[in-house]
Every structure is written in structure tokens, then in C-alpha cells.
Amino acid sequence: AYDFLKSHSAVDSVEFAVRMMEDNTLFNAGTGAMMQSDGIQRMDACIIDGYRNKGGAVAQISGVKNPIEVARMVMEKTQHCLIVGEEAQKFAYLNGIGRYVTVTKESIERWLKIKEDTHYGTVGAVAIDMDGKIAAGISTGGWATSLPGRVGDVPIIGGGTYANEQVGVSCTGHGEKISKAILAGAV
Ligand code: ASP
């Protein structure tokens, strides 16, 4: 990701870094992401371009490989900040994103024994490029014990992630507490 940043913008690099982590089953994002308490994966992601003061996010999306890519499309192709659920999935497919199953054998096993193993890594990235422009991104499968449909801090701009011309922030931890503190935006 560092080499990528040498020749790409902060926002492209953040998308690239988060995408790599979404594709790695070690993390709770994208492929292998955690399911909610009903056993269904619903993922949240957000990307913010601090220089352009733009952000895009998706919440409760499934059936796509890289939620961060869809968040980027929301930022680049719409006038909105956040699209949720099935409509986010349809938006992705309409924009050429392929269908993808992010559930893995390991994610099912992990979900089944979640009472012992409550939490593993949401992913985030912050980058500053050669022009000094800053971007931030974040992606998660959320919490295994959450109610279906629960949305935490991740897709809320200023909640779990934020960027402007001076700073970039990506948080991890208890989404409800992060949201109440407006943690990323409070910097
Ligand atoms: N903040 C995430 C959420 O509550 C979880 C995490 O950071 O691991 O959805």
C-alpha cells in the first residue's frame, strides 16, 4: 500500500488498502466478515476525501466483495453520503460490481463459537499523498451478537471515520460508544 501511495492519490490509496484488508480473511470486513445475530452478513464501509470534502458510505450491504468500493461509488457517482441494505446492493450491481459471496467456512465457524470469541478486526486506513491531500476509509462486518440491521459508527461520517484538509481518522472499538462521542469528527 505504501508503494501504491507514491504514485496515487490519498483517496485511491485508502480504497486500495482497505480493499486488500477486505480480501484478507483475517479481518472482520469483506470476505470472512462477521455475521449479525441472525447469521446474515451485513457490512458497513465509508470513505472520505478530506481535500474535496466528500464522503460516501454503505451500510448493511451483502453480496459484494468490497464494500469500500461501493462506498467510493456512492461518493463519486451520487449526491448522497450513505445508501443502505438491499438498495446499496442493487446500486452496486447497477454500477457493474459483480455478485460475490463473502461468507466463508471460517466465518461460519467463527460465528458459531462467537460467545467465546466476541470480536476481531474492523479495518481502516488513513493516507496523506504527495500533494498533502488526506483521505480516510473504514470497513466492517460489525458485531456477531448485534441485532439484525444494527448499524454502528463505521458508515457515519464523523462517527468512525473522518477526514478534512488537516486530519484523517479511522476508529475501531464499540460502535455505539464511538457514535455517541462523534469520535472521529471530534478531533
Ligand atoms: N466499530 C465497529 C462497529 O461497531 C466495530 C469495530 O471497530 O471492530 O461496527
Ligand 1 pocket: which of 28, 114, 174 to mutate (most atoms <8 Å of CB)?
174
Supply 27's cell numbers: 479481518
Alpha helices in the chain (DSSP H): 2-7, 10-22, 67-77, 85-94, 105-112, 175-180
Instruction: For residue 161, give every residue at least 6 positions away whose Cβ sits within 8 Å of its Cβ, in sequence order, or none.
Output: 46, 47, 48, 124, 136, 137, 138, 154, 169, 170, 171, 184
Q: Whole-model pTM?
A: 0.95
| CA-nearest residue, atom 1 of ligand 1 | 175
Q: Which residues are catalytic?
A: 122
Answer for the pair 116, 32: CB distance below 8 angstroms, yes or no.
no
Per-residue pLDDT of the chain (187 residues; tens, 9 = 90+): 778 998 999 999 999 999 999 999 999 999 999 999 999 999 999 999 999 999 999 999 999 999 999 999 999 999 999 999 999 999 999 999 999 999 999 999 888 887 555 566 899 999 999 999 999 999 999 998 899 999 999 999 999 999 999 999 999 999 999 999 999 999 8
Bridge partners of 139? 45, 123
